[in-house]
Structures are given as structure tokens and as C-alpha cells.
Structure 1
Amino acid sequence: MEIGSVAEWATAVAETAAVLVALFLPYFERRRADRKSTRNLKIMLRGIVRRAITDNDPKSLETFLNISTFTDAGERDKETLNVAQQILELFTTENTDVERRNREIEALLDTIQP
């Protein structure tokens, strides 16, 4: 039994590396795409909440939450969407002082960092 030449060993190592890259590259690409999608969701959500505070109208936030529950973001970004739901509930609470409500919303928004 012969060990083989250096060229054969180099070829074997290169082929093994190529197979590993081919197997794991889609996994890493999917993770990167998910992170980017989560970041974009958080940026969009922060903008929608800021606009809802300015307009004192949470309709766009409510629509955003309804739509995002039907997308793949609903499972992946469950925590972020739960915070958004809490913010929406603060808007719909009747007996809340506006300044106090806005401070609580800002505190919740600070937990959503892109």
C-alpha cells in the first residue's frame, strides 16, 4: 500500500474542501439573508412606530402587524413582532396619558435595535 504523491494528497484536500463549501455555502447564505431581513424589519418597524407617534394614529402599525403574521417573518422575528404588538396595545389603551404612553413606547422601541 502506497501513501501517494504530494500532488494526489493536494488534490484530495482540495476536493474535500470543495465539497464542504458546496454543502455549507447555502446554509451560510440563508443565515445572512435572514439576518438582513430581520434588520430591515426592525428598521421598518421603528419608522412605522415613529410615524404612528407623530400622527397619533396606529392604523399603519396595525396593518403592518397583520401582514407580517402571514409572512415568514412571523416565525423568525417573533420577539420583535411581540414588542410591536405591545406598542399597538399601548396605543389602544383608553386611559393612558399621551406623554406617559410615548415614554413607554420609546422604552419598547429601544429594545428593537437593528
Structure 2
Amino acid sequence: MEIGSVAEWATACAETAAVLVALFLPYVERRRADRKSTRNLKMMLLGIVNRALEQNDPKSLETFLSVSAFTDAAERDKDTLDVARQILELFKSGKADGDTSSRDKEIKALLQTIKP
């Protein structure tokens, strides 16, 4: 039984490395894509909430949450969307109370938890 030449060993090592890369690369790419999608969702949410604060109208936030329930973000970014729902509830409760300054402070505190 022979061990084989150096060239055969080098070929075997290269093939093993290629198989490992081929198996691991899709996982890395999917993870990168998920992080990018999460970052984009958070940036969009920040813009929508800031616009809702300026206009004192949460309709765009409500629409955003309704649409996001049908996307893959509903599972992946559950915590972020839960914070957005809390913000929407603050908007709704703030309209009834009429106290927008304390509501805005609470909303801005919640926004700090979802920074991208």
C-alpha cells in the first residue's frame, strides 16, 4: 500500500476545501442577505415613524405593518415589528389623550431600540 505522491495529496486537500466552501458559502450568503434585509427594514421603519411624528398621522405606519405581516420579515424581524406595533399603539392612545409630548418621548425611546 502506497501513500501517494505529493501532487495527489495536494489535489485531495484542494478538493476537500472546495467541497467545504461549496457547502458553507450558501449559508454565509443567506446570512448576509438576511442582515441586509433587516437593516433595510429598520431604516424604512425609522423613516416612516419619523414622518408619522412630523405629520402626527400614523396611517403609513399602520399600512407598513399590515404589509410586513405577509413578508418573510414577519418571522425574521419579529422583535422589530413588535416595537413598531407598540409605537402604533402609542400613536393611537396619544390621539385619545391629546398629550403628544410624552407620547413622542416614549416613541423616540422605542426608536432607540431598533437602530440599524
Alignment TM class, shorter chain as reference: over 0.9
Work out whether 1:100 is the aligned partner of 2:69. no
> CA offsets per residue over residues 5-63 of structure 1, 9 Å max, x none?
11111000000010111111111101100000000000000000000000000000000
How do residues 61-80 of structure 1 correspond to structure 2 at under 5 angstroms?
Answer: 61-80=61-80
C-alpha separation in 2, matches of 1:40 and 1:9: 46
List alignment gaps of at least 5 residues for structure 2: none
Q: TM-score, normalised to structure 2's length?
A: 0.96
C-alpha separation in 1, matches of 2:98 and 2:46: 21
Identity in percent: 75
How do residues 71-90 of structure 1 correspond to structure 2 at under 5 angstroms?
Answer: 71-90=71-90
Q: TM-score, normalised to structure 1's length?
A: 0.98
**Paired residue secondary structure (2:22):** helix
User: How many residues are matched?
Assistant: 114
CA apart distance, 1:95: 1.6
Which residue in the other structure is 1:59 paired with? 59
Compute the RMSD of aligned alpha carbons. 0.7
